[in-house]
Chain A
Amino acid sequence: MRKPRVLFVDDEPRILDGLRRSLRGKRGEWEMSFVTSGAEALRALHDTPHDVVVSDMRMPGMDGAELLTHVSRRHPEVARVVLSGHTEPAAAIKVAVAGHRFLTKPSDPESVVTVIEQLLVLTSGTHPAQARRIAGGVRSLPTLPAHVDRLSALLRDPEVELSSAIRAASHDVGLTAKLLQLSNSAFFGARARGVSMDSVVNAVGLPTVQALFSAGQLLWSSTEWRPEAEGHLGIAWRHAVATACLVGSIASPANRPHAQAAALLQDVGRFVCLAGQQDDDWGPALDPAATVCGGVPYRDVGVELLHLWGLPRPVVTAVAERDVPHRVAAAGLGVTGAVRAAHLLLQDTESRDPSVGSHADELALILAHPQLTAQPVDYWPGAAVEASERAGRCVRT
């Protein structure tokens, strides 16, 4: 196996010299190259396969956002890291759409190494390269066309209440994923204290949320949607929202934000595979029960995306293991167990996920967990129906 290749791009040669020296300890593990412009970077990527590109933002000629956008189209398998000392919000939004991870200057070599090493890990056991390719090309996730108008009207309203913006964001798969991706970095304002939408929106600020939504939506036009795909995603979305509602009462308070994020993002791979990608020859089957496209499981694509975007580990694990029968541990349900429980409970409601059957025995075992015995066992089906109805209202309006 070849050594991983990392490409560094910065118009300031001294930055490159400094990185070369401080990362010298890694020279045995990685092959590193250093170029001073976007054009050179694209040439290097064209000539040699790379794994990670680390780019400055503001450069003469092609800037970082432009370079990374090109990379996302031409070399989607290359992970994209931004390393920049610029702080203007407008430029940050552009790059937020184009990059996977964001580092501010100055960053110590340890942080740079940690991010690169994480990105060199491919999560899919069976289709690592394909899953990376599909997930890597994604710059933003679409909102379902039927809901774009409502969401944008809400977010463009300068008088919008913070709480309604948070509620709207926490029901949208794409916006939730993007905000969690950004909240992990000091790049976009204060680092969020938690992963609840409350703290994330508060940390990045409402204007950034609004700008991100508009910038993300620009990449999607409703004409690209196939009506069938939209219908299937509507079903998946309702299931996700219902799971997020229900998991709130299953997960322990400490796990709740992670569990709700994981529930909402559980089918993010389906969104990636079905939305607007019909040009590619691996066009997926339009079957609501389908779970693979071009041989690659949706789930692998979704997990790879969340990993690339640097979402918290418990969230990524819970999404990865949603379909794995849960073995109840004495320590607690954890994020994964809670999401799995909510997911299964909803299989008897209108918000069911058509791609999986019901797992009554497993569910009975989970519900017998001491963590949940504060409620009688027959409480849960009713709670599931209620969550399903709430999700139905949310998806319909």
Chain B
Amino acid sequence: MVTVAAVDPGEPARAEEYRRSSEDIAALAAHSYGTTYAGVTVWAAGGRRLLAGHGFATETPPPVAELCDRVVRERRPVVVRDGAAGLFAGAAILTSAGDPLGVLWVADEVARPAPAPLSETLLQVLADQLGLRAELSTRWRERTQALDMVGAVLFYASRDGLITDISSYWASLTGHPVDSTVGRPVTEFFHGEVVDEVREVLTAAGAGSIRRLDCALLTADGATIPVDLAVTRFDGPADDTRELLGVVTDLRERRRRELEAGHDQKLESLGRLSAGIAHEINTPIQFVGDNTRFLASAYQEMLALIETYRRCLDTTSGELAWGDRLALATEAEQATDLDYLTTEVPLAVEQSLDGIERVASLVRAMKSFSYKDSRDRVYADLNEALTTTLTVARNEVKYVADVSLDLGELPPVLCHVGDLNQVFLNLLVNAADALHDREERGEIRITTRAEGSTAVISLADNGCGIPADLQRMIFEPFFTTKEVGKGTGQGLALARAVVIDKHGGTIEVNSAPGEGTEFVLRLPVDGKALESA
């Protein structure tokens, strides 16, 4: 015996609705057959029980119960004209799979000639109605249960946008009770800012096509939840209270995971960069230290020389002849290797300052590279962002390639510049990796130009290239051709997410194996999505 949602106390509102329709149909049957009693007896979780009765109150009379068992056993309508229960007629309520749910029956104490015609057919048609309703209700429940698991709510709405049915997960997601939600407009439950867009989605949803919207839901306590709203329309003679079918998906978990993936990717590239950055700092520190020590000893030598000069100039030691003084000075100059110091000291100072500038600019670049984006976009100079990224990643690139920059005039671009830096870095590191196994040094060309209100950034290498069959896959998360431990395959996935999803731009790859790869990024200057996506 199957247990059916509609007659199961699991979902009270729905069970009550089913009980009421059972009552109506039982009444209809009693009226049609002219009997005193009618009822719907079901086999639910707790065993056999009377779901709805007409003409009496509480439970299935025992003789009737026995006859119900027979109906279920024989799976066909049974009519008894003069039995222990007097007149009895019953038809089984079956699921589409043929499983019995219960019995619709009519009965009377008095056995009397049947009102003509006592057709079993009518009873069976009415019983089938109940089977169908139970089945629909079960299906609904199965579907919504599956959606509950992925954090989604299923709802039906009428043509004018009033909610007519909604899955019970709605209550746990938003805190709005299902009962008080049904009958209210869909738009009422969305954030004020997106209400117009939601309305547009509802009216524009066509038959057979799905309209989606990224928007925010309002909970009972006034909080918002980021959701995906998808709506489609049933065409044709369907019940007009169920003309629109919608699914609302909770995006909180997905957003969190995206955030984590982005974070992981940043950590990955940071880990890789940190070794290179350490080297870029250690090198100048080494020569600045060496030069400074040299300057200290040069100063001592110069000081000693000056002491000698002073002695030579000292008139109190009058007895020293001019020639002797000159000889003393020349000797001291030679001992000091004055010529060497004269050439080397300025160079040592210059190179030390240069070393300090190298460290300083690297530290500046790191600071601006890791610029923490606020939620809002800001106008940024992308040429500067590219130069910054190049400084930070210099150690990744300099052993394998020469970088040529061809930076055109770019207007300030409204963007999340920290995220774009990360994209530039990923592309640059990939280019360096593509050049790694070449015999001779490779070349990386970075070009920028403005095309109307679009900033175009191209980053090209003459490395190993990407085979045509892989070009489709490179933007997929976790796709990587690098050996284990070298990359997690999130770099280009992040690039796509940042450029397309976050900035409404485009990213395209042109590559020929053996010749090289070019990535072209197009970003709208004003932050509004490009048409030609």
Contacts and interface: CB of A to CB of B under 8 A. Distances in A.
A249 interface: no
B294 A15 contact: no
Contacts of B284: 14
Contacts of A12: 283, 287
Interface in A1-57: 12, 14-15, 17-19, 21-22, 24-25
Contacts of B348: 17-18, 21
Contacts of B294: 18, 21-22, 24
B194 interface: no
Instruction: Report, as a range, how many residues of chain B touch the other chain.
Output: 20 to 34
A164 interface: no
Interface string B270-299: 000001001101111111111101100100
Interface in A233-264: none
B282 A85 contact: yes
Contacts, number: 77
Contacts of A105: 279, 282-283, 285-286
Interface in B368-409: 398-400
Interface string A80-96: 00000111100000000
A87 B355 CA distance: 20
A335 B224 CA distance: 75
Interface stretch (A106-114, A316-324, A379-387): A106-114
A391 to B, nearest CB: 39
Contacts of A108: 289, 293
A19 B351 CA distance: 13
Most chain A beta-carbon neighbours within 10 Å: one of B283, B297, B351, B399: B283
Contact of B286 (A24, A60, A106): A106
Given A21-B348, A106-B289, A85 B297 contact: no
Interface in B439-484: 441
B347 interface: yes
Contacts of B351: 14, 17-18
B293 A22 contact: yes
Given A85-B282, A86-B279, A58 B289 contact: no
B286 A85 contact: yes
Nearest to B344: A21
B275 A87 contact: yes
Given A14-B354, A21-B291, A106-B285, A60 B399 contact: yes
Most chain A beta-carbon neighbours within 10 Å: one of B275, B282, B286, B354: B286
Given A85-B279, A87-B275, A105-B285, A18 B399 contact: no
A14 B287 contact: yes
A22 B290 contact: yes
9 contacts: A12-B287, A14-B354, A17-B351, A18-B351, A21-B293, A58-B399, A87-B278, A88-B275, A106-B286
Interface of B: 275, 278-279, 281-291, 293-294, 297, 344, 347-348, 351, 354-355, 398-400, 441
